[in-house]
Structures are given as structure tokens and as C-alpha cells.
Amino acid sequence: MITLPSFFFKDIGELNVNLHILFFLTIMGATINTYMFSPTKDKYYAMFIMRMDAKSYTLSNYIYSMLKVFIGFLPLIFIGLGSYSLPLWVPILITVFIVSAKVIVAWLILLRYAKTKIYTNENLPAKFAWPFWITLFVFAYGLPILNVLIPIKFLLAIAILTILISIYAMFYIAKFNAYRDMYQQLLFQSNNQMTDYTEITVSEAHKKISADSSITSNKHGFEYFNEIFILRHKKVLWKPAIYTTFISLIVILIIIIVLIIDDTSRLEINSGIITILPSFIFIMYFLNRGTQFTEALFINCDHSMLTYSFYKDPKAILQLFSIRLREIIKVNLLPAFVIGTGLSVILYLSGGTDNYINYFILFITIIAISVFFSVHYLTCYYLLQPYNANTEIKSFTYSIVTSGTYFLTYFLSKIKVSTFEFGMLTIAFCIIYSILASILVYKFAPKTFRIRY
């Protein structure tokens, strides 16, 4: 977020751009992640169940958190600024500045509580917070585009001033004596909200289930079990897929009409279609229904069924995995089929291509990407089952994998490669990934597919 954007601003000074972006993102980070005002359950258990001293517990955890920030950022700052031959004190100063900014924000929030008794919950930011963060984000990346940068000497002066102010702030934080009163309001309100949120989530999920008692099936075993589930969850699965397909069809028709009416646009659209295929990885990532499908599976089915031993038998898991994979592929294929067909038609109407296999590759690649996301999210669900009994995501690994999927698809969407090469690689990868996923689910899901605690 800091080093890569600076490559695009070499003409106005990479180092200055680095420090400019870092400055505004540091202010954002200081106000978003305070560490002290995050209402976590461990704080509630420690202070009010185990009756630990609130001040000692808060300060020890806060010092530990600030040390983690310092130790985590220091090597990254050295690496990011290492190519500029700066004095040793500059990266250290910047790292201390990052920590100091967080300390000052914590001090101001405590000062506000001492005077007004109004506490801050960083998970529920104030109304002005989002406009403030967006403004900082725009300043961080927008000003360099306009060739406007905060001078380096001014940034370093602000960093030194911030560090000096934070010294006083640390003394205030150490002397503050109302931690227990503040956390009593913060944590009890947060626990009630989390309970309400969980109940609302489950309630909303149940509302989406069809209550039609006439829904039945002529199939048997897991096929019967699955078909009843699919029929009762049409609102969750098929309705959004139909909407997505309809919108995709409208966009494709609009492009076709433009091609027919405006001859001058054909060359531009044709060249775009030939190279646009990698971008559809990112688009299909947002269109797939994998996460919604697995969430519905857990809340309205597996949440109860995982208490039975037969449900975790390897053969039963693989059979039900195959059935569910088939169903989510069918759901995701609806918009994928329209998009793949539409791209091939647009390519033909905009002037076509000398390599006729590109029409087929465009269509099949979109289908393959759709299948990949279907396999990927269902596999992650079975191997990393993230939900606990309260339908809260408790798997850190699952969060990392899903976040990594987002960033990977984003970076892949930026590569420049021919339609044929990208298509063949994507299709091959999808086939290999699907085979490996089935093997992993069969071998490991009996141990991993369980309710978390």
C-alpha cells in the first residue's frame, strides 16, 4: 500500500511519496486500531469474571500491543526505505512515530472519557469517522496524482513533535484510574450487542427458508437431504444468481447495441476483449455465491447435523461434498454461462479474431473460473470450518485464506497475457485444483469438519 504506489511517481520523488502516503495511513491506523478500546471477550473474562486489576491488565496488554506494532513495523520500514541510503535514525524515528500516533489517540480518548464519561468503542466508530478516514485516504493517494506532496522535512518535524507529545500521553495513560468503570460500560454493552447480533443473524437466516410444508423429493439418502435444502433456500441461492444474470445480460446487450450503432467503437472494444480475460477473475470472485452458500449450510443444516457421528464419516462427507459442489456449481454457472457467451458474441461482432479457438477459450475460461470459486469456497468450508455454535467465524486460518483469495484474484486481474495462454492455464489449474480438493476433503475433513468452540 505504500511502496508499490510510489513506483508510479518516480518523476516527483519516490521517497517523498513513500513518506507522504505513510503519514496519512498512520493517522488512519491510529484512529482505526486503538488496541485499548476494542471490546474483546478476554478483557471481559479477565476483569469481571476473574476480577483482575483493570488498570494493570489494561496497561500490560497495551504495552505488549505497542511493542508488537514497533517490532512488526521496524523491519518493514527498513526494507521499504532501505534503497534510499538514509541515516539509521530515520527508519527508527518513523517506526516510533507510528506507535506514538496510536498512543496520542488513546490518550485523547481517555481524556474525553474523564471529562464527559463518554466511552469509545472502536468496533462502532462515530458518524464522522468514515468521512474522516476517506478524506485521509484521498489525501494519501490523491495528492501525489496532483503532484502535491508534504515536504519530507515537514513530515519529519511532525513525527518528532508527535513523539514528544506521546511522552506526556504515556504518563497520563499510566496514571489514569478509571479503567474498570470505562470497561464496565464498554464491555457489557458490547456483549449485549454481540448477543443481539448473533440472534439477528440466525433469525434472518431462518426467515430466508421456505416454510412450505409441501416441499418434498423423490430421491433418497443424501440426495433427498440436499434437494430439500436447495428447494427451501431458493431465496438465498438462486434468486441473487438470477438477478446477477439479468444485470449481466443487460450490460452485454448494451455493449452489442453500441457496436451496432457506433462503428468507431469496434476496434477499441475488440482489442479490449482480447486482453480482458484476466480481469474476469476479479469480477467472478464477486459474483460467486460460495460464501453465502456455506453460511446457509452451517446455520440451517450442519449446525445441527455435525452433532451426529455418521455425518462425519469420510465416505459420507465426500458424497455430500460432491452433491453440494454440484449444486453450487449450477448456481454459479447461470451468470457465468451468460457472461462467457456474451464475451464471445461481443468479440465476434467487434471484428472477430484470426484465431477462432479464442471464442471457445473465452467461454470455457469463464466457466472454469466459476467452477474454481465454487470448489474453492466449499473446500475451505470443509477443511477450515470457521463457525462456532453461535455462528461466529472463529478460524483465523479461514480468514487469512479468504483474504488471500481476494488479493490474489486482484493481482491476477492485472497481468497482461494472451487470451489463449491465460485460458488454457486457467482451465488446467481448475481441473487440477478440483481433483486435489476432493482428495484433501476425503482425507482431512473427518477431522476438520466440526463445530468450533
DSSP output for 253-266 = HHHHHHHHH-TTHH
Yes or no: say if 110 and 179 are a contact pair by the CB < 8 Å rule: no
Q: Which residue has the cell 493517522?
A: 27
Residue-averaged pLDDT of the chain: 82
Report the alpha-carbon distance of residue 280 to residue 365 in Å, rounded: 9
Residue 196 has pLDDT above 60, yes or no: no
Nearest to 38 by CA among 111, 102, 112: 102
Phi and psi torsions of 390, nearest 5°? -95, 15
> Can you tell me whether residue 393 is helix, strand or coil?
strand
Q: Which residue has the cell 532501505?
A: 82
DSSP output for 99-144 = HHHHHHHHHHHHHHHHHH-----TTS--TTHHHHHHHHHHHHHHHH
Yes or no: say if 257 and 345 are a contact pair by the CB < 8 Å rule: no
Q: Provide the percentage of residues in the chain whose pLDDT is more than 90.
A: 21
Report the alpha-carbon distance of residue 250 to residue 365 in Å, rounded: 21
Q: How much is the pTM?
A: 0.57
> Can you tell me whether residue 388 is helix, strand or coil?
strand
Cell readout for 386 is 470457521
Which residue would you say has higher pLDDT here, 150 or 370? Answer: 370
Report the alpha-carbon distance of residue 432 to residue 208 in Å, rounded: 35
Report the alpha-carbon distance of residue 100 to residue 94 in Å, rounded: 10
Report the alpha-carbon distance of residue 56 to residue 43 in Å, rounded: 12
Question: Can you list the alpha helix ranges (DSSP code H) found in 33-82?
Answer: 41-44, 54-81
Q: Tens digit of pLDDT for each residue in 29-70?
A: 999 888 888 777 788 788 888 888 888 989 999 999 999 999
Report the alpha-carbon distance of residue 153 to residue 150 in Å, rounded: 9
Q: Provide the percentage of residues in the chain whose pLDDT is more than 70.
A: 90
Yes or no: say if 296 and 384 are a contact pair by the CB < 8 Å rule: no
Q: What is the pLDDT of residue 36?
A: 86
Cross-strand pairs, 387: 393
Give the H/E segment covering residue 3. helix 3-6
> Can you tell me whether residue 444 is helix, strand or coil?
helix
Q: What is the pLDDT of residue 356?
A: 80
Side-chain-facing half-sphere of 44: CA atoms under 13 Å: 13
Least confident of 7-11, 76-80, 193-197, 340-344: 193-197
Q: Tens digit of pLDDT for each residue in 132-172?
A: 888 888 888 888 877 778 888 888 899 999 999 999 999 99
Biggest CA–CA distance in the chain, Å, is 76
Least confident of 240-254, 349-363, 424-438: 349-363
> Can you tell me whether residue 387 is helix, strand or coil?
strand
CA 258 to chain CA mean position, Å? 35
Q: What is the pLDDT of residue 165?
A: 94
